[in-house]
Amino acid sequence: MTSSPPDRLSRTALDHRIETAVGRSVEELRQHRHDGLLDAPHTALADAHRDLVAAERDVGFYRLRLARLASSDLPVDQALFARIDRTLDQLAQAARRRDAKQISAAAALEPIEASAPRQVPRQIPTKDVAALLAIAQGAKLHEHLVTHRLTVATPTRTRISYAQLQRLEADGFVERDSSHPVQAGQPVTLTDAGRAVLTIPRRAGAPGTAPAPLPPAFPAVSRPRR
């Protein structure tokens, strides 16, 4: 019997909140649950998240099936319409199950969030601040149809490399809407954590920033001797 794909490949709308509250990735949370290292509230959260991931995977399955039916070379006849209608019903049912599992996971998360110590947002390099400010005004990740090069387009034309975008995404500051094809442009938006780092005061000597320039030195003026 072949094993199913790893759950870590299916992201959910609660992953960032969970990782912020527990201080570890959802994959690590799942592993600690498997190893029996969690207390009761975290065990309940891990189990609820596992169910949510499974439900999210079902939504993705029927969504992909619907896309394949719509883009296939099958004859456009009543049989195709029936298959599309049936898949739409299955997708709607899967979405309802997913929504219910998300409510359950959010309920399991709330007491952990309430007891978690409030973290002060960390400062980030100036170039990352500039990137987040540009993304806040609207950004999209595009893939060139010929070269397949990935670029980030922003209204301010701020230069954001794909590597920088990946790092900001890994840090939990931005997220992409993967429901859009990258060829047409995937919207990139700030997360709550990304907005938080833009609101903290900038201290002198923050990582990646240049120190404040010193005032110019002038030669001492010698006084005439009497």
Q: pLDDT tens digits, residue range 29-77?
A: 999 999 888 889 999 999 999 999 999 999 999 999 999 998 888 888 9
Amino acid 95 reads A
Helices (H), 12-170: 15-22, 26-34, 40-71, 78-115, 126-136, 162-170
CA–CA dist 77, 218 (Å, integer):
87
Which tens digit of pLDDT belongs to each residue from 61-118? 999 999 999 888 888 899 999 999 999 999 999 999 999 999 999 999 999 988 876 5
- CA 188 to CA 132: how far, in whole Å? 10
Query: Which amino acid is present at 215?
Result: P
* Beta bridge pairs of residue 175: 189
| 201 pLDDT tier (thresholds 50, 70, 90) | low
- Mean of pLDDT values over 192-221: 54
The pLDDT assigned to 47 comes to 96
Q: How far is CA 214 from the centre of its chain?
A: 40
Q: What is the largest CA-CA distance in the chain?
A: 112
What's the pLDDT score for residue 225? 47
What type of residue is 212? A
Q: Give the chain's mean pLDDT.
A: 82
* Nearest Cα residue to 109 out of 14, 12, 11: 14
What pTM, to 2 d.p., does this model score?
Answer: 0.52
Q: If 0-12 CB within 10 Å is exposed, 13-18 middle and 19+ buried, where does residue 131 land?
A: buried
Cα–Cα distance measured from residue 200 to residue 189, given in angstroms and rounded to the nearest whole number:
19
Axis crossing angle, helix 40-71 with helix 15-22, rounded to the nearest 10? 160
Closest by CA position to 179, among listed 49, 5, 59: 59
Q: Are 197 and 206 spatial neighbours (Cβ–Cβ below 8 Å)?
A: no
Task: Using pLDDT thresholds of 50, 70 and 90, give the confidence band for residue 119.
Answer: low
